[in-house]
Amino acid sequence: MPVIYRYILKEHIGPFFFGLATITFVLIMDFLLELLNLIIGKGVGFLVVLQAFALNLAWMLALSIPMAVFVSTLMAFGRLSQDNEITALKTSGVSLYRIIFFPLLFSFVLALGLIIFNDRVLPEANHKARILMSEIHQKKPTLSIKENLFMDEIPGYHLLVKKVNPKTNEISGITIYEKREGLFPRTILARKGKIEFSEDKNTLIFYLENGEVHEADQNQPGHYRFISFEKQTLYIPDVGNRLMQTGDDYRTDREMDIGMMMNKVKRIQENISTGKRELARSAEQSISEVFKNNTSTKKASEGEDKLLSDIFFTNQRQFFKLQMETQNLSYQERVKNSYLVEVHKKYSLPFACVVFILIGAPLGIMARRGNMAVGLGMSLGFFLLYWAFLIGGEELADRMYVPAFWAMWSANILLALAGVYILIKSSRETTFISWKWTEKFIPKRFRKFMFGIES
């Protein structure tokens, strides 16, 4: 490896790891508060919380590594430019393209490694993290309960609790509204109680003490039954399956690798093709029946109201049948597109490393400041722009406005083109943006600080 390449790489290493640590810390701040709440307020073991943190660290690294590449590129080339080392290299006959060649090559290798990470490590980490958090909530059912706030996550029930002790799963000041088939719910009040799951982790059990049951008499409107109790047990079945889905076989799209999602896409596409053929066949059949019914309508006399009514409802049923089949096809198309979006995201995010080198190197040279504040500030701005493109593209793709490819790759393509343009201009030492219009509005010392111009 030539000395110049080793030197440039060395300039990137320190800022890269500092930027990676800083950005990752920013990403974990919100999650860190939740982890501290689990330890301090909920009594969850430290090793379990540490495991949850390690598993969730995977998706944070998938985001922070490309951004750290941008930070290191801005700072490294900014420092080299500030000390006139870029000028010295150009004077020695080393072009700007050769200067950025090795960082670009290294970013490409890093992007390939991130693709493997996103495809193999990240889905498993997301899957295990979801299962772990579900198991924590099963062992500690009160984790989901907020004091003095209604909880309606349990199907058919509304729960209000005044005080919660997560360490012992004890609750007090309990109000339970049970939805029933009649007009009025059954209301259960209790001074205190305890919550736990059954051994199969599927039934939620309330052990209530010193309470009352109020319910309306469905047979005699205006009357209700009142029952007081010292102890009562309330069983709510199927809560585990409805709320947690902890089985190893169940996976969300972010818990699947590329192969799993492409198999899903293939099966959905087969269903869509079959559905389209069925829809065409149903449409032909419906059209023929409508024409047949219309002919019968013309032949029917004014007195044959029943025949006319039957014909009308038959036509209406055919219309709703076609409408439902069309909506089902549209839903499957959206599901297929959502999987394709995740597939492209596993490639597009890693290749942001290459894009950020292309645009970060010339911007760093132009900035001529190698300090951390400039590097973090400019990288944050560009990454927010990049992330806005991703979020907006994903939303448009989910609504079937744009294909999944363009939704996930448009940011890379646009920023790469901008980077190549700036790189060519910087290599030719030409100005690609004129700041002369600022002379009338911004004082000289501020123009020099902001844009690096003397006049």
Comparing CA positions, the residue from 74, 101, 99 lying closest to residue 87 is: 99
Q: Judge contact between 191 and 209, C-beta under 8 A.
A: yes
Q: How far is CA 133 from the centre of its chain?
A: 17
Cα 298 to Cα 318: distance, rounded to the nearest angstrom: 19
Kindly report which listed range (80-84, 228-232, 376-380, 428-432) carries the lowest average pLDDT score: 428-432
Q: What is the pLDDT of residue 151?
A: 76
* Stretch 380-400: mean pLDDT: 82
HSE-up (13 A, CA, CB side) for residue 264: 23
Q: What is the pLDDT of residue 383?
A: 76
The H or E element containing residue 38 is helix 3-40
The model's pLDDT over 103-132, given as tens digits with 9 standing for 90+, comes to: 999 999 999 999 999 999 999 999 988 888
For residue 205, the cross-strand partners are: 196, 235
What's the mean pLDDT when you consider all of the chain?
78
Cα 247 to Cα 240: distance, rounded to the nearest angstrom: 10
In the chain, the amino acid numbered 104 is L
What DSSP string describes 241-276?
HHHT---TT---GGGS-HHHHHHHHHHHHHHHHHHH
Residue 195 φ then ψ, to 5°? -120, 140
- Of residues 267 and 31, more confidently modeled: 267
Q: What is the pLDDT of residue 184?
A: 63
Q: What is the pLDDT of residue 124?
A: 93
The model's pLDDT over 184-220, given as tens digits with 9 standing for 90+, comes to: 678 889 999 988 877 776 778 889 999 988 877 666 6
pTM above 0.85, yes or no: no
Cα 327 to Cα 333: distance, rounded to the nearest angstrom: 10
The model's pLDDT over 134-189, given as tens digits with 9 standing for 90+, comes to: 777 665 555 567 777 777 767 678 888 888 877 677 889 988 888 766 556 788 89
Strand segments (E) across 166-300: 170-178, 186-197, 204-216, 224-236
Q: What is the pLDDT of residue 433?
A: 52
Decide if pLDDT at 416 tops 60: yes
Q: What is the pLDDT of residue 307?
A: 46
Q: What is the pLDDT of residue 168?
A: 76
Kindly report which listed range (9-18, 139-148, 311-320, 373-382) carries the lowest average pLDDT score: 311-320
Long-range contacts of 161-169 (CB under 8 A, 24+ apart): 166/41, 166/42, 166/43, 166/140, 166/142, 167/42, 167/43, 168/194, 169/140, 169/141, 169/142, 169/194, 169/195, 169/196
Token representation of residue 80: 């080299």
* Stretch 316-322: mean pLDDT: 63
Token representation of residue 259: 């192969």
Cα 432 to Cα 449: distance, rounded to the nearest angstrom: 18
Q: What is the pLDDT of residue 249?
A: 66
The model's pLDDT over 431-450, given as tens digits with 9 standing for 90+, comes to: 555 555 555 555 655 555 55
Q: What residues contact 407, with CB distance under 8 A and at least 6 apart? A: 341, 344, 393, 394, 396, 397
Q: Judge contact between 244 and 256, C-beta under 8 A.
A: no
Q: Are strands 170-178 and 224-236 parallel, antiparallel or unpaired?
A: unpaired
Cα of first residue to Cα of last residue in the chain, in angstroms, is 42
- Of residues 336 and 222, more confidently modeled: 336
* Stretch 368-396: mean pLDDT: 72
Q: Going edge to edge, which strands form the sheet with 157-165?
A: 157-165, 170-178, 186-197, 204-216, 224-236
Q: What is the pLDDT of residue 341?
A: 92
Q: pLDDT above 90 covers what percent of the chain?
A: 20
Q: How far is CA 59 from the centre of its chain?
A: 10
* Stretch 34-61: mean pLDDT: 80
Alpha helices in 83-121 (DSSP H): 85-91, 96-116
Q: What is the pLDDT of residue 308?
A: 47
The model's pLDDT over 233-257, given as tens digits with 9 standing for 90+, comes to: 888 876 654 444 445 567 888 889 9
Q: What is the pLDDT of residue 289?
A: 62
Cα 185 to Cα 396: distance, rounded to the nearest angstrom: 42
In the chain, the amino acid numbered 74 is L
Q: What is the pLDDT of residue 437?
A: 52
The model's pLDDT over 325-364, given as tens digits with 9 standing for 90+, comes to: 777 788 888 889 889 999 999 999 999 999 999 988 888 8
Q: Judge contact between 76 and 367, C-beta under 8 A.
A: no
Residue where the block lists tokens 């995201």: 345
Q: What is the pLDDT of residue 372?
A: 53
Q: Degrees (nearest 5) of the Cα angle 165, 170, 176? A: 110
Handedness of CA 189, 190, 196, 198 (dihedral sign): negative
